[in-house]
């Protein structure tokens, strides 16, 4: 991840108290629980942000580790979960290259809406290699919200799911916030988000896992994005 994005996420930004992000985390946790039961499982949330996804894991998970590159988000999470003994929060710089220092192995690892801020495709492969080292046998790793270079935005699909899942007004509110506070859009335009060919990347990643699937179901509010599910 470039320093430009690290600096952005380390300070106050429009996503820190975003209502749509809370809704997104709820949707993702529900869909993840359909893929693999999280009850009594140890979970690692890579890029935990303000801990919205962790909130949804707490009732059933056995142990949850949240890691992020943002010192601001880590501070927020440590305060938020200070009375939750099953939650551990850690700061990790350099694209999470030292996750093995957690001295833990996990049943479920999630990296949601993070890799688009990486600088190179090769960093995704490195991340999977690192995650494999902290994974139990039979564990799963979900890389969600992947921006695929071959995909086009389907606004009708976005409208449909925003209505049936009940976040249309939250989505419109966030668009308004983006217009009023254009810093994110300026960074997005200047430094670009990483778009990949999911099939080509998946072929490389398949060598590192026992099983790999590309999921096209809308697991999050970003209904036009893909997801890669690996089993170790």
Q: Are 213 and 228 in contact (CB under 8 A)?
A: yes
Q: Enter the pTM of the model.
A: 0.94
Please tell me the predicted confidence (pLDDT) of residue 199.
Answer: 96
pLDDT value of position 102: 92
State the pLDDT at residue 95: 63
Kindly give the interhelix angle for 198-205 and 122-133, rounded to the nearest 10 degrees: 40
In this structure, are residues 195 and 149 in contact, taking their beta carbons and an 8 Å threshold?
yes
pLDDT tens digit sequence for 31-42: 999 999 999 999
Hey, what domains does the chain have and what are their CATH numbers? 3-231 (3.40.50.150)
pLDDT at 192: 87
Low-confidence ranges of the chain (pLDDT < 50): none
Cα angle, residue 31 at apex, residues 29 and 37 outer, rounded to 5°: 75
Residue 8: the pLDDT is 86
Q: What is the dihedral of CA 224, 12, 52, 58, to 10 degrees?
A: 150
Residue 223, beta-bridge partner list? none
Report the phi/psi class of residue 154: left, alpha or beta, with left for phi > 0 and alpha for psi in -120 to 50.
beta
pLDDT value, residue 193: 92
State the pLDDT at residue 12: 82
Q: How far apart are CA 47 and CA 53, in angstroms?
A: 10
Q: Can you give the pLDDT at residue 4?
A: 79
Strand partners, 143: 111, 228
Q: Are 106 and 43 in contact (CB under 8 A)?
A: yes
Radius of gyration of the chain (CA): 17
* Whole-number Å distance between alpha carbons of 39 and 37: 6
Q: Phi and psi dihedrals of 58, rounded to 5?
A: -50, -45
Task: Report the pLDDT value the prediction gives residue 96, as an integer from 0 to 100.
Answer: 78
**Per-residue pLDDT, 123:** 93
Label residues 156-171 b or e (16+ Cβ within 10 Å = b).
Answer: eebeebbeebebeebb
């Amino acid at each position: 991840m470039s320093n430009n994005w690290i600096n952005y996420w380390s300070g106050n930004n429009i996503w820190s108290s975003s209502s749509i992000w809370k809704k997104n985390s709820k949707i993702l946790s529900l869909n993840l629980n359909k893929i693999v039961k999280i009850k009594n499982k140890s979970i690692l949330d890579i890029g935990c942000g303000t801990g919205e996804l962790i909130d949804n894991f707490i009732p059933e998970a056995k142990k949850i580790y949240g890691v992020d590159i943002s010192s601001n988000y880590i501070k927020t999470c440590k305060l938020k979960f200070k009375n939750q003994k099953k939650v551990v929060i850690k700061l990790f710089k350099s694209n999470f290259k030292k996750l093995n220092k957690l001295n833990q192995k996990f049943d479920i690892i999630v990296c949601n809406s993070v890799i688009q801020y990486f600088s190179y495709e090769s960093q995704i492969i490195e991340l999977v290699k690192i995650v494999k080292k902290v994974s139990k046998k039979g564990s799963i790793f979900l890389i969600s919200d992947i921006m695929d270079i071959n995909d086009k935005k389907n606004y009708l699909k976005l409208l449909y799911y925003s209505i049936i899942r009940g976040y249309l007004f939250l989505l419109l509110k966030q668009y308004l916030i983006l217009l009023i506070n254009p810093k994110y859009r300026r960074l997005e335009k200047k430094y670009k988000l990483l778009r990949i060919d999911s099939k080509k990347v998946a072929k490389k990643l398949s060598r590192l896992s026992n099983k790999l699937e590309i999921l096209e179901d809308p697991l999050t509010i970003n209904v036009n994005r893909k997801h890669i599910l690996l089993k170790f």
